Amino acid sequence: MAYEPQYYPGATSVAENRRKHMSGKVEKIRDISDDDLTLILGHRAPGSDYPSTHPPLAEMGEPECSVREMVEPTPGAKAGDRVRYVQFVDSMYNAPSTPYFRSYAAAINFRGVDPGTLSGRQVVEARERDMEELAKFQMETEMTCPALASLRGATVHGHSLRLPEDGVMFDMLDRCRKEGDVIIMHKDQVGRPIDKKVNLGKPMSAEEAAKRTTIYRVDNVAFRDDAEVIEWVHRVFDKRTIYGFKPEN
């Protein structure tokens, strides 16, 4: 029987969502066009060619190397794209994803990515078209709620603050706004105004966010409610503590 990764222990909805994010088997809930994505990422003009940092690999004449022969380059590496980044911020108030699970999702399901995990933000560096593929995946699926998560290249402050009255995570650069019942982005991820308003779709309701979140919270699903997770966390901590301990010395 083929091995199937289990990814994460636990029987609660949060554990199930964590497994979904890690395995990449997440539900697609909105559409964002390629041009809109390019516009809000702000690395190049929509519709323009990808600037390159070196000629395509096929023209470069690579040295003979068994590893290079074995590993198929990603489309971005093949074309010689620049390395560019996308950075997400997820609110602590039941945002669907968290920096750790965005990094797991990126590292497990995408090649040629360099995820960076911080307490309040998560950055992925990759060749431009590979990075765009990942950004599109994370923004179009249930990994992102446009109100509780946001694309923030710089000035990320807000993930741990109370939500404003309209439920859209505080952003001191005002990149996202709620207009009618949808969230629009009228600045790119670093705060430069863009030519048009990009519709990021409807925000999740409080109930839906609580259902889709990967965050354990005492006011939703408490960490201590998940006996299997607790057991495994204890086991990991136990092993980490004793693995170098040799009493006979």
Partner 1 sequence: MSDTLSDANYVQLEIFPSRLLKPETAQNLLREITDLEGIIRLFVHGPRLPQTVPYGPATGLPVNHPGNTVIEVAGQAIELAVYVGSIRMEVVDVDVKEQVREVCENVLSVPFEFREGNFIPRRQTVSDYAKRGPGADPMMIGMTDPKGKLKDQPVCILKPDDME
Q: Are strands 176-179 and 182-187 parallel, antiparallel or unpaired?
A: antiparallel
For position 192 contacting partner 1 by CB under 8 A, the verdict is yes
For position 182 contacting partner 1 by CB under 8 A, the verdict is no
Cα-only R_g, the chain: 20
**Binding piece for partner 1, criterion CB under 8 A, among 9-17, 118-126, 127-135, 147-155:** 147-155
CA within 13 Å, CB half, 29: 19
For position 162 contacting partner 1 by CB under 8 A, the verdict is yes
d(CA 249, CA 240) in angstroms, rounded, equals 19
CB of 225 to partner 1, least distance (A): 23
Among 2, 65, 67, 154, binds partner 1 (CB under 8 A): 154
**Binding piece for partner 1, criterion CB under 8 A, among 60-68, 121-129, 187-195, 230-238:** 187-195
Nearer to partner 1, 99 or 153 (CB): 153
Question: Which residue type sits at 162?
Answer: R
Among 27, 31, 72, 174, binds partner 1 (CB under 8 A): 174
Q: Residue 179: beta bridge partners?
A: 182
Q: How many residues bind partner 1 (CB under 8 A)?
A: 20
CB of 53 to partner 1, least distance (A): 18
For position 179 contacting partner 1 by CB under 8 A, the verdict is no
Handedness of CA 128, 151, 110, 104 (dihedral sign): positive
Token couple for 31: 């559409």
CB of 107 to partner 1, least distance (A): 25
* Residues 204, 181 contacting (CB under 8 angstroms): no
The b-or-e profile of 169-182 (16+ CB within 10 A means b, else e) is bebebebbebeeeb
Nearer to partner 1, 39 or 229 (CB): 39
**Which residues are near partner 1 by CB under 8 A?**
153-155, 157-158, 161-166, 170, 172-174, 177, 190-193
